[in-house]
Homo-oligomer: A and B are copies of this chain.
Amino acid sequence: MLEQTRIADTGKIRIVIIGGGFGGIELAKSLAGAEVQVVLIDKQNHHTFQPLLYQVSTAGLEADSIVYPFRKIFDKQDNFYFRLAEVQSVDTTTQIVETSIGLLRYDYLVIATGATTNYYGNEQIQKHATPIKNIEDALSLRNTILSNFEKALQIDDEEQLNSLMDYVIVGGGPTGVEVAGALSELRKHVFPKDYKELDFVKMDIHLIQSGPKLLNGMSDEASVKAQKFLEDFGVKIWFDRKVVSYDGYTVTLDSGEKLISRTMIWAAGVAGAPIEGIRKESIVRGNRFKVDTYNRVEGYDNIFAIGDIAAMVTEENPQGHPMMAQPAMQQGRLLGKNLQNIIVSKPLKPFEYSDKGSMATVGRNHAVADLKVMKKEYRTQGLIAWFIWMFIHLISVIGFKNRFFVLMNWMWSYFSYDKGIRLIIGKKKENIPVEAVTQKAVV
């Protein structure tokens, strides 16, 4: 079994990283120059800058501007190897990862598989709702939105028209708030120019939140302001409601209320994406692997988990760290150093999360931000928060060229009140074919 080797055996200790999200990338980078072999496995050939996915969905950015090929990120890092593969399972005894392209030996394994959309076990919702978790989701949503309006042009029936023009967004976290804001901007500035034959007074944007406030985890000022901004933009917010069923047409809330929409955008939660072969006892709430303060998965010496998939349960963080980019990046960076410490038998440094705060944008000129700088909190809402949001996201995008193209797109959109990428290319979600009520009428 061992006679063939397609990743060169460099004679160095091999660290296999599963997943090239924020955590995986930072870890691989921080191993640059180390006397190890770094092997990154991912299902995609590119890193995705997830915080801007919603802008791809809403025609504000090209997909290509927010993804970046792994091979290009690491083209100068000699100890780095990439394989496009899906992981099937891990054999922790023989230290072998089974993947779609073969078996891969490891000395140290780092699980950085991130999170997937959480439908809380509701298969009907999973089937009909539209997630925004990866670039193909985002493109599919863009195609779906634009196709809906194209179809709406042929419809007379009021309910059918609503089903195509109205949107239901589930989840009042940053993604839900940002999508609702972006859709309301499109409704105001863009769609009426494109679809002069449609009456956009009829386009409703619903945001469903399970609790009594938006942006849980942010300050009350941020929540209240985000709500005010969205309401000013005409978004209808439904607090303390959960979706109990969705058949691709009718959204039923636990309050008994019903909404009609062919497109329900699901931003109601994520859960870890654990892999087969790791002991089940180490999986805790939210499908995450329980790790110690060195990100070591409970029960193993040479297996680590970072980012969304890792639950570092401490007294300050009884739920683990928030499933966001910052903890993942910081854990990745530290683990890179710690792995090098392990190899030379130096003491390890425990992880300490440096919370830099969080923010969300709510359409043109509006955002909310709770920032932490040198352990001091700064809260701001409105235009200044919006500029801070843009600046921080811009510098975080990988690659000078992508950063430049994102900036150019933003400036273009800002000054032209336009979103240029209104293209239907590739697949879209079609829950139920539009009733052919008008199919045979001469138009």
Distance (whole angstroms) from the CB of A107 to the closest CB of chain B: 13
**8 Å CB contacts to B: which residues of A1-24?**
1-8
B residues less than 8 Å from A421 (CB atoms): 64
A3 CB contacts on chain B under 8 angstroms: 441
**A71 engages B195 (CB within 8 Å):** yes
Within the complex, what minimum Cβ distance (angstroms) separates A165 from chain B?
Answer: 15
Please report the C-alpha to C-alpha distance between residue A120 and residue B67 in the assembled complex, in whole angstroms. 39
Residues in A62-103 with C-beta less than 8 Å from chain B:
62-65, 67, 69, 71-72, 75, 81, 83-84, 96, 101-103
Q: Identify which of B69, B401, B423, B424 contacts A422 (C-beta below 8 A).
A: B69
Q: Which of B422, B426, B443 contacts A426 (CB 8 A)?
A: B426
Say yes or no: B154 contacts A102, CB within 8 Å.
yes
Question: Known contacts being A139-B425, A422-B71, is A442 close to B1, with CB within 8 Å?
Answer: yes
A194 in contact (CB, < 8 A): yes
A6-B443, A8-B197, A84-B150 known; A422+B104 contact, CB < 8 A: no
- Residues in B with CB closer than 8 Å to A83 are 150, 153-154
- In the assembled complex, A146 has its CB within 8 A of some CB on chain B: yes
| Interface check A210, CB cutoff 8 A | no
Chain A: number of interface residues, binned into ranges? 35 or more
Stretch at the interface among A27-35, A283-291, A364-372, A404-412: A404-412
> Which residues of chain B are within 8 angstroms of A1 by Cβ–Cβ distance?
440-442
Q: Is A439 an interface residue (CB 8 A)?
A: yes
CA distance A103 to B84 in the complex (A): 48
Known: A75-B193, A193-B75, A443-B105. A4 touches B423 (CB 8 A): no
Distance in Å: Cβ of A288 to nearest Cβ of chain B: 28
CB distance B103 to A67 under 8 Å?
no
Which of B64, B75, B101, B425 is within 8 Å of A194, CB to CB? B75
Instruction: Please list the residues of chain A having a beta carbon within 8 angstroms of any beta carbon in chain B.
Output: 1-8, 44-46, 62-65, 67, 69, 71-72, 75, 81, 83-84, 96, 101-105, 135-136, 139, 146-147, 150-151, 153-156, 193-195, 197, 399, 401, 404-405, 408, 412, 418, 420-427, 438-443
